[in-house]
Amino acid sequence: MFKLVAIGLVGVVALGAVPASAQVFQGPYIGAQAGWNRDSVDAPRTDAGIATINDEKDSFIGGAFVGYNQTVTPNIVLGLEGSFNVGASDDIRRNGVSINPDYSFDLSARAGYLIGGKTLIYARGGYENMRAKVRIPSASGVVSNRETFDGWTVGGGVERALLDKVSARLEYRYSDLGSNGQKFDRHQVLAGVGYHF
């Protein structure tokens, strides 16, 4: 009798137990990220005038992110995430004209598929805003201004639970920060580590 009760209790515990790693992708989280950034521009219009640059620049970028995950089915995870990033040696210069990014931030939605309770494959899409210093020579001297470039961003990646509350990710993002026919494209490959509450 006691043996049957013990076996029954073990079975209930086993059925009710959920691996801690499967719960990583549920609730709020924060993290840090860094990686490769490429900005490609083609004569964007600014408040200081047309920046006559047709060039691209590779640079390092890093920052922080914060978000919230909601597991809506055993395998589907939806969420919202915002991030703030700054670059290093990311200014684009040509013939006295320069565009020097200060920082960028974005807000996007994520949708992912959970494999084995530990690996999340996801896509993202949303809004991005970048602030930059722009300098343009003119007949009366150099015109400088702080310019806002904004647009949309999409991407995708994979995130893996390493510990009960820690995950690591690798993702690619594309952003279109141009408007009215101008070109300001951004490509990024970012690696990050997140802490889940």
Report how far residue 18's alpha carbon sits from residue 2's, in angstroms, rounded to the nearest whole number.
26
Q: How many domains does the chain have?
A: 1
For 43, 68, 136, 152, the CA distances from 47, given in Å and listed in that order, are 13, 36, 10, 21
Query: Which of 65-69, 87-91, 142-146 has the largest mean confidence?
Result: 65-69
Question: What pLDDT shows up at residue 51?
Answer: 82
Give me the CATH number covering residue 121: 2.40.160.20
Task: Return the residue matching tokens 């990220």.
Answer: 33
| Residue 175 domain boundaries | 2-196
Please tell me whether residue 10 adopts helix, strand or coil conformation. helix
Please tell me whether residue 11 adopts helix, strand or coil conformation. helix
Element spanning 13, H or E: helix 2-16
Report how far residue 148's alpha carbon sits from residue 118's, in angstroms, rounded to the nearest whole number.
39
pTM value?
0.83
**Per-residue pLDDT averaged across 175-193, rounded?**
89
φ/ψ of residue 172, rounded to 5 = -115, 140
Q: Report pLDDT digits (tens) over 15-74.
A: 344 444 457 899 999 999 999 999 999 888 887 778 888 899 999 999 999 999 999 999
